[in-house]
Structure 1
Amino acid sequence: MAVAMLALPVAGASAADTLVRSSQVTASEHAVRDMGRYDALIHSSNGTPIYQNVSGSQSGPADLHGNAENAERTGSTADRDIAAELTGLAALLPPTAKVVGPMSRYDLQVIIAVGAGRTWTSLREVDLADPLARGIAERRAGAAPTADDQVAISSELAGHLGKNVGDTIDVRLVDSRAPGAASGNGAGSAPGKALHITGIYDSTDNRYTDLIFARRGTFQGGADHDSESYFVALPGGVDWPLVQKLNQRGFTVESKKVVADPPPRSQMPYYTSGLAARLDNGAGIQASTAVAVAVGAAMVLLEVVLLAGPAFAVSARRRRRDFGLLGAAGADGPRLRRIVLADGVILGLAGGVAGTGVGVLAAWIGLPYFADLGRQNPGGFRVLPAELLASAAVGVLTGVAAALAPAIVTARQDVLTALTGRRGQARPAWKMPVAGLAALVAGTALITAGALARVDTALEVAGIAVAELGVVACTPLLVSWSGHLARVLPLTGRLAVRDGARNRGRTAPAVAAIMAAVAGTSAVAMILTSQDAQSRHDYVSELRTGQAALSLNPGTVQDPARLAGQIAALLPGSTPPLETIPEIARTAANTCPQIPEGLSGDAFQTAANQSIADPRCGFLAGRRFVTSHYDTGATSLVSGGPDVARAILGRSDPAAESVLKAGGIVVFNPLDLATTGPNPTVQVKVAANCKDTDCPATGSTATLPAVVVDAPTVRIQAIVAPGALDKLGVTFTPQAIIFDTKRTPTASEQKEADDLASAAGVYQSFYVERGYQDQTWIGLLALAGVAGVVMLGAAAVATGLAITDAQGDLETLSAVGARPRVRRALAGSQAATTAGLGALLGALFGLLPAIGLLEAMHRARAKDLVMGPAAEAAQLAVPWLFLVLVVLALPMLAAVGAAGMTRSRITMRLRRD
């Protein structure tokens, strides 16, 4: 049993190390996946000099006063002359260089017709028939496209579409310049094109993605939509000086020669200029993550030590007569201690060797499944002997640590007591609980400091570890105190509790192991539950629950009324059109003040925070930020009467309906009022930018009677009566449709409506408001499963050792007439005592780190430039159902399991005189 326990963490560490190393992709391997057999991959330019890292994955403007935050690319390709760029690139390269491009890599979005519906995917422009492109994709079936009406698709996409080689798909290139594209809700599209599938190819970079491979020219002007890339083949490769030369013209370069033999950082301006320090915000995060992983690994080893320790303790107790004989023959305490520690070394070595072999074998078998789970292509099966040797050494160290406490107890035992077989009645040592209490206080202080000061994950994780060690140190005393509760329990319960209190060396480690596991899972459960409560608190429904909406993108739908009628036939209800053209003209006092020019650093931060917190600026409307699933404009006015108001508000509002009937306007923010009092008014003016709408470019304004309605979740700015803006020359056109349904549409109805929208030329998804969707129960069940495995395992170990250690007591009970079922009842009581006490302590302790981490996350949110002013008190939610399951249900399950696995019959042994 001890060998298996010691081998478990070694096997886990060996498997994890092998899987991680095998899944890692080296820079050279990544370069082959990016460019095949070409020597370099060059990304498009905007002409501004840049600095880059070795692989070109990070870059920024050479002028540190530029926009260094754009680390992936610089500039936009929308207005560049691609032909001139290609000419300029060729001029920078040696005459022997071969340049292929420009081509888009994954950036082109396309829509594939699927029956009456559609699906979105990415398209990569590359000639798979080019011998130098080998290594970019792996052929599964068929052949590479050789004409502009041919494509290859990935296995994943073929499975989703139900297509194979020889089939035809209708593909439309999403036009990023079409109306609505900038909103993120959809885009216009070029006309559809029928393409023949000639092959199934998977990207070597990620075979789990939906992807289309097409030759350059399949879609005319396709690369103009986003960043272009160029393949370069050059005898001798692209060296670092040439990379720097290209950087001066704004090109980012990934060179096989450079990544294989990178220059020292002292020769790379990306690092010497300080740009890397500005762009690399992950150093602190990586350090905190490393600390968290190290502490987590230490906690896992602590669990193993706590579970394996009792096995060494019982083994030492069963050999106490032998140790007594050694003591009588002259062996001193240190010698006896070394004998027990030698057991730990030998068993730890056996566990280390066995665990390493099992871990490597498990990693070899599980690598394909690990890749499927992470949906990433592994680099190749790699075994690093030095790291595996370190994993095996962990087994030895864990074995020694598990045997340490029994070795100390054995060295201190009285020789006469050991020879006679009597049990000593040592009182609990006071030093360990005092040290544990001090560690608990210190850990709590660290957690508090990390939460209240600045977000410091390393400090908080260290505090959690110190506090948990403190509770572990206090566990023997708590187990001893639990013996005072035995008097109120039935016979088997009294025996179990008093046996556990008397044999603290066996019971306390199991209780501490359960406590640590439950504490960790309870803390995570409370964080998940609190984050869910925060999300529920922050959630702003765009519509009333059950309503649906569809953005139209003006000009893409020929007959919006007909489409609305078709969808309404599926979802009976009203279909008011929504449109945005004019805007409300606020008074100077109600207008958001502009941030003064020339500010930077802390001064700009302060001014920005003031603007965000200012209600006139509208950043915190409704207290929260909303991601829109249908588009009516950021400050939109909707034209409609009382029916539109009822659909948007979800209720009848007499004041709103009255003002709309009178040709007025309904607003939702008092700051929009131009005048207040008994007869408030609002001034409406034509938006300055009207080139894409049917409105005259004038500065005319209209003053309308108004009413303010309290509706914090409404996304539009106002509802204006039809005809109220005729004198401004405004012509409204449908931009969105709200479906005021009588019930929440089903998933199939939503799919049918989405297909109808697709057939009509709408590229946005049909949105149904279903309210906040709770998904935390899956995580809570998983956490309960983890806690249950540790709890049942620890309870089983402790109960088995207790039954073995209490054989004499059971024989005495049988001799005085106890029924056979007493043995089962005693086993169940011992399991319930161990599991219940550990679960209770873990649940209580788990609240401490959870509250600290939640407070830290809340303070991080409060310091955010955008969300900070909107941050309210952190939402703390106790996972009551999880705690009931862990504290009550799982200990009962452990008790039933222990009772069911224990034999009732007691085998009487011969007693020694």
Structure 2
Amino acid sequence: MSLFTGWRAALRMARRDALRAKGRSALVVAMIALPVLGVTAADITTRSVASSESEQLTARMGAADALFTDPEIGPLEQMPDGNMYDAVGGTVPEGEIPPIDMRAALPEGARALTLQSVPASVTTKYGLTGTDITEFRVSDPMARGRVELVRGAFPHGTDEMVATEPFLTSSGLRIGSRTTVRSIGRTYTITGIVEDPSDLKAKQLYADPGAVIAPWRKAAERDPDVLPPNTGTPQWLVTGADGSGVDWNDVLAANRKGALVVSRQVVLDPPPDSAIPLAHSYTPYTEGTSAEEGAAVVTVVAMAVLEIVLLAGPAFAVGARRSRRQLGLIGTCGGDRHHIRAVVLAGGLVLGAVGTVTGVAAGLLLTVVFRPMIEGWAGQRFGSLVLNPGELLAIALIGLVTGVLAALAPAIVASRQSVLESLTGRRGVRRSSRVLPTVGASLLALGAAVAVYGGTSGDTRLVAGGSVVAELGLLGCIPVIVGLLGRLGRGLPLSPRMALRDAARNRGRTAPAVAAVMAAVAGTVAVATYMASTMAESDYRYTPSLTEGTMVLSSSDERLTAQLPLARAAVEGNMAVTGRPAGFARAWAGSDCNIYYEDEPGGEPGCGSLTLVKPTGEGHTCPLRAKGAKELAARLSSEEHRTLMRSPACVDEYISTGAFPTDENNIVVGGPDLLRLYVKLDDPAAAAALEAGTPVLLNQAYAKNGEVTLKAVHAYNAKDTANRKLHPGPARKTTNRLKVYVADARYATTPGIRMIMPRKTAERIGLRTAEAGSVYAVPHRPSDAEEQRVSAAIEEAGGGIWLQTPSRPGDRDDIMLLVLTLFAGVVTLGAAAITTGLAKADAEADLTTLSAVGAPPRVRRALSGFQCMIVALTGVLLGTVAGLVPAVAVRLTDLGKAMEAMRANPMESAYTPIVLPWTAIGVLAVAVPLLAGLLAAVFTRSRLTLARRAG
């Protein structure tokens, strides 16, 4: 029999066997197709989102030939792409450079559109909101690609606008709604919805040129109370005469007149270096991450292949055992071992081919179907749906090879069985290898040690290599761990005892599934641990402007005090505040600098100052700011440095004034309600001290012997006529020592407040005071609608009142962590389900015997449920251990870098925590195994038709 004939017969037998066992075949096809589907969709999405250079130019300048701007440096030289430019001679002319006449810089016969934005406050369905208004004729064909119409109509005239979908969603407006620009009181009709294909999340309004900025400037010229618009540098979208484009000569001519040009023609077909004046002094930037990216791709592909082999391999093994009589007949007909191997491998080839084709086709189809959702998640439109045939073919080949690799081990085992064993169905006696677990344990210890060493030394290659070795070592230990599960069943009820013993007896089926779960969970736990740790680090570095659960309404202008009651009514009527607010006031010496008086004639500021003097010495001066700080930092551990940074002596180095209208001393005038609501200090002694006129000091580093020193300079601005007449001559200086109540050290980190002073005490020592606002307790961050309603009400009351709402330390979007957890959960459920299904098929004769001896029907369901739960729980626990190795090692690398930065700058934080993602681990270790067991029990038939047991 020739090689071709033998394989043709093997493929025919494999096809017929796959059709006979449709359930098992569908299982294998699904396990191969799902990763192929995911990789195909990821490849198409990545290629489509990563726009080409031509598509990036279209997103930037629409259908125009070039983009002209004025960098305000006079005549210049630039590189062809416009990213690098400099003034001619490398020196910008001194003095103010007037804007250039852009019309004179354009090529002869060119047509241009201007694009200019201005921030403005506009009315909404709920109230007021701030947004950007861009003057740009979006109806012009030149704007296509830069701005696209989604619904409605383009604006025509100076009383119409179009808006983006995110703006309409936030503001509650729609097509046909009217909005007013508060600065000029002009109302516009929204005629359509547009989008910026490169930024789908932009909240923006578009109007024709002359609709907003010009009338705003005229209003500012007529009325001194109207501030002129804060516009940015305008951009000019230019199309060359007769479609000739903008060439390099046009760019050089524009450069001589001071214009910077990005030309589509020049960027896509740049001139030679000899024609570029700036080329001699320009060094192009090259990225060196290609090797790291290639290593990452290889690692991901290898892990995907390993995952498929681990999951599909047991299915092929069970299939080979189910077909052992057929394979034995091949031996009786003269077939040898390589023919038997060929039949089993042909099964992997057939199912791999079907799974690969299904996966690639489904990946392409799903990408097309879910394209709008993917674009919304990415925040930009695809330039086009990019299909790379070479990459798709490579993905298909990997899937095909993976199917064959999954069948390799079962093929070798099947070929080693004797013909007698195959025909009688006896499995023989199998002994576990003692070498594999020994090698595995050694590799686990070695890999963990190498990874930790790489983390402490900052070598990421050792971290990656050690983590992989440790995971491979743990894989080698899994058969022994699974074997030990049988011993845990002593004393348990029938179903869990049988499930544990079945898992231990059939390690060839159980161990790969546990390994597959472990591999998926390990990656998830590693990434989740790193994300949770970096979030905790970000939280520590974040300096809040408010205490948790509070909101501050304030004004820094004494003349606006009368508007505070109306502003409070607006807040209390439109926001979910809880309890009574706590009022506060501010204190100052001399003239009120916060209302922006002009300087006195002669240039000297006419404002007073108030200084809370910080004593010197231990406990008062921050050691990280003192002499020898670097030597001290070199001796500190990360935790010791963190403790010192949070001490009262050092904490005020980075605590800002926050939401309170105070100077740098953070002295607020208030009473016990402010202490309780904002500071969270519910202390009767502190409240009694305030009632008695004793200030409460939150930062004990400013107190010495229970007293603080307060220095005041009573200077008066020339425009502060009333007080200027009462206090003529030079500024009066006073120093007061005040007895204070010193709060516990932990209150030194209170945002915006260093000391709370009773009003009567402030007035007694000669300070001026004025009501400044209120603090509210809020159960959650206010919505856009609530903030817009309050803004409108405050504006109606006259404006000038500032509402600061709770914020979060950066972007706390946990979508990635959720996706990783869901992925690991799905793989866990799939692996457990596969193992349970294979156990059912593999042990059908045993289940028949169980029913024959009188076991109730529910035992069958309970047995399936426990089998599924054991695989899921074991894999999750081992995966958690495996995932912690790289996460801890990488965090050790981060710690080393942070310590270096801290020793160079002692005030730089070195806090690099390792935080476990208990929510994700809890879901994977508790919820997923319970769900797997429940689903297996529900979908298992409890009754079985009895049949005569063979063999």
1:321 to 305, 321, 325: 325
- Summarize the alignment of residues 185-584 of structure 1 with structure 2, pairs less than 5 Å apart: 190-217=183-210, 218-220=212-214, 225-235=231-241, 236-240=244-248, 243=251, 252-262=260-270, 277=285, 284=289, 291-292=295-296, 294-327=298-331, 331-454=335-458, 456=460, 460-527=463-530, 530=533, 542-543=545-546, 547-552=550-555, 554=557, 557=560, 559-563=562-566, 566=569, 572-578=580-586, 581=593, 582-584=609-611
Structure 1 495/155 Cα, relative in aligned 2: closer, same or farther at 3 Å?
A: closer
How far is the alpha carbon of 1:644 from its aligned partner?
6.7
How far is the alpha carbon of 1:729 from its aligned partner?
10
The residue that corresponds to 2:604 in the other structure is none
Structure 1 22/706 Cα, relative in aligned 2: closer, same or farther at 3 Å?
A: same
How far is the alpha carbon of 1:470 from its aligned partner?
2.7
Q: Deviations over 1:11-42 (max 9, x none)?
A: 22222222333333322223223323321113
More off after superposition, 575-584 vs 339-348: 575-584
Structure 1 566/451 Cα, relative in aligned 2: closer, same or farther at 3 Å?
A: same
* 3-state secondary structure, aligned to 1:903: coil
Structure 1 308/572 Cα, relative in aligned 2: closer, same or farther at 3 Å?
A: same
One-letter identity of the residue aligned with 2:476: A
The residue that corresponds to 2:735 in the other structure is 703
* 3-state secondary structure, aligned to 1:702: strand
The residue that corresponds to 2:67 in the other structure is 41
Structure 2 residue 865 is the aligned partner of structure 1 residue 828: yes
Structure 1 743/232 Cα, relative in aligned 2: closer, same or farther at 3 Å?
A: closer
User: Using the alignment, how far apart are the partners of 2:156 and 2:380 within structure 1?
Assistant: 29
User: Using the alignment, how far apart are the partners of 1:695 and 1:441 within structure 2?
Assistant: 78
How far is the alpha carbon of 1:642 from its aligned partner?
7.7
Structure 1 896/875 Cα, relative in aligned 2: closer, same or farther at 3 Å?
A: same
How far is the alpha carbon of 1:312 from its aligned partner?
0.8
**Would the aligned equivalents of 1:646 and 1:653 in 2 still touch at CA under 8 Å?**
no
The residue that corresponds to 1:901 in the other structure is 939
The residue that corresponds to 1:69 in the other structure is none
User: Using the alignment, how far apart are the partners of 1:515 and 1:263 within structure 2?
Assistant: 55
User: Using the alignment, how far apart are the partners of 1:529 and 1:327 within structure 2?
Assistant: 58
More off after superposition, 342-351 vs 557-566: 557-566
1:154 to 155, 161, 164: 164
How far is the alpha carbon of 1:358 from its aligned partner?
1.6
Structure 1 550/253 Cα, relative in aligned 2: closer, same or farther at 3 Å?
A: farther
**Would the aligned equivalents of 1:38 and 1:132 in 2 still touch at CA under 8 Å?**
yes
The residue that corresponds to 1:187 in the other structure is none
Structure 2 residue 749 is the aligned partner of structure 1 residue 713: yes
The residue that corresponds to 2:831 in the other structure is 794
More off after superposition, 869-878 vs 763-772: 763-772
**Would the aligned equivalents of 1:584 and 1:672 in 2 still touch at CA under 8 Å?**
no
Normalised by the size of structure 2, how large is the TM-score? 0.77
Structure 2 residue 929 is the aligned partner of structure 1 residue 891: yes
How far is the alpha carbon of 1:427 from its aligned partner?
1.9
How far is the alpha carbon of 1:417 from its aligned partner?
3.1
- Summarize the alignment of residues 134-153 of structure 1 with structure 2, pairs less than 5 Å apart: 134-153=144-163
Structure 1 253/655 Cα, relative in aligned 2: closer, same or farther at 3 Å?
A: same
**Would the aligned equivalents of 1:117 and 1:758 in 2 still touch at CA under 8 Å?**
no
One-letter identity of the residue aligned with 2:198: D
User: Using the alignment, how far apart are the partners of 1:402 and 1:547 within structure 2?
Assistant: 58
How far is the alpha carbon of 1:317 from its aligned partner?
1.7
- Summarize the alignment of residues 77-156 of structure 1 with structure 2, pairs less than 5 Å apart: 84-87=98-101, 89=102, 93-101=106-114, 103-105=115-117, 108-114=118-124, 117-156=127-166
User: Using the alignment, how far apart are the partners of 1:568 and 1:364 within structure 2?
Assistant: 47
Q: Deviations over 1:284-335 (max 9, x none)?
A: 5x86566445534433332222111111111122233343444566655445
2:43 to 4, 9, 17: 17
Structure 1 886/43 Cα, relative in aligned 2: closer, same or farther at 3 Å?
A: same
One-letter identity of the residue aligned with 1:36: G
How far is the alpha carbon of 1:472 from its aligned partner?
2.1
Structure 1 670/829 Cα, relative in aligned 2: closer, same or farther at 3 Å?
A: closer
User: Using the alignment, how far apart are the partners of 1:65 and 1:682 within structure 2?
Assistant: 51
How far is the alpha carbon of 1:508 from its aligned partner?
0.9
Structure 1 705/266 Cα, relative in aligned 2: closer, same or farther at 3 Å?
A: farther
2:711 to 661, 680, 683: 683
**Would the aligned equivalents of 1:656 and 1:707 in 2 still touch at CA under 8 Å?**
no
How far is the alpha carbon of 1:396 from its aligned partner?
0.7
Structure 1 846/136 Cα, relative in aligned 2: closer, same or farther at 3 Å?
A: closer
The residue that corresponds to 2:880 in the other structure is 843
* 3-state secondary structure, aligned to 2:360: helix
One-letter identity of the residue aligned with 2:100: L
User: Using the alignment, how far apart are the partners of 2:282 and 2:723 within structure 1?
Assistant: 50
User: Using the alignment, how far apart are the partners of 2:260 and 2:431 within structure 1?
Assistant: 72
How far is the alpha carbon of 1:633 from its aligned partner?
4.7
Q: Deviations over 1:683-739 (max 9, x none)?
A: 3447999999999997764312135634313324555676989999986666x5233
Percent of aligned pairs with the same amino acid: 34
One-letter identity of the residue aligned with 1:508: A
One-letter identity of the residue aligned with 1:104: Q
User: Using the alignment, how far apart are the partners of 1:375 and 1:411 within structure 2?
Assistant: 54
More off after superposition, 614-623 vs 216-225: 614-623
How far is the alpha carbon of 1:632 from its aligned partner?
3.8
Structure 1 98/585 Cα, relative in aligned 2: closer, same or farther at 3 Å?
A: farther
* 3-state secondary structure, aligned to 2:381: coil
How far is the alpha carbon of 1:337 from its aligned partner?
3.2
**Would the aligned equivalents of 2:107 and 2:250 in 1 still touch at CA under 8 Å?**
no
* 3-state secondary structure, aligned to 2:748: coil
Q: Deviations over 1:598-641 (max 9, x none)?
A: xxxx99x99xx9x9999899995268666945654554444567
The RMSD of aligned alpha carbons is 5.0
* 3-state secondary structure, aligned to 1:196: strand
**Would the aligned equivalents of 2:129 and 2:791 in 1 still touch at CA under 8 Å?**
no
User: Using the alignment, how far apart are the partners of 1:274 and 1:439 within structure 2?
Assistant: 50
The residue that corresponds to 2:12 in the other structure is none
Q: Deviations over 1:212-254 (max 9, x none)?
A: 1123332235885323322233343334565577678875533
How far is the alpha carbon of 1:126 from its aligned partner?
0.9
User: Using the alignment, how far apart are the partners of 2:133 and 2:549 within structure 1?
Assistant: 36
The residue that corresponds to 2:225 in the other structure is none
**Would the aligned equivalents of 1:549 and 1:766 in 2 still touch at CA under 8 Å?**
yes
**Would the aligned equivalents of 1:40 and 1:238 in 2 still touch at CA under 8 Å?**
yes
Q: Deviations over 1:732-774 (max 9, x none)?
A: 666x523366999987987765543343354776345699999
* 3-state secondary structure, aligned to 1:127: coil
Gaps of 5+ in 2: 1-26, 218-227, 574-578, 594-608
* 3-state secondary structure, aligned to 1:704: strand
User: Using the alignment, how far apart are the partners of 1:45 and 1:693 within structure 2?
Assistant: 45
Structure 1 427/245 Cα, relative in aligned 2: closer, same or farther at 3 Å?
A: farther
**Would the aligned equivalents of 1:451 and 1:852 in 2 still touch at CA under 8 Å?**
yes
For these two proteins, the number of residue pairs brought into alignment is: 862
One-letter identity of the residue aligned with 2:865: G
Normalised by the size of structure 1, how large is the TM-score? 0.79
User: Using the alignment, how far apart are the partners of 1:450 and 1:135 within structure 2?
Assistant: 48
Structure 2 residue 651 is the aligned partner of structure 1 residue 621: yes
One-letter identity of the residue aligned with 1:168: R
The residue that corresponds to 1:184 in the other structure is none
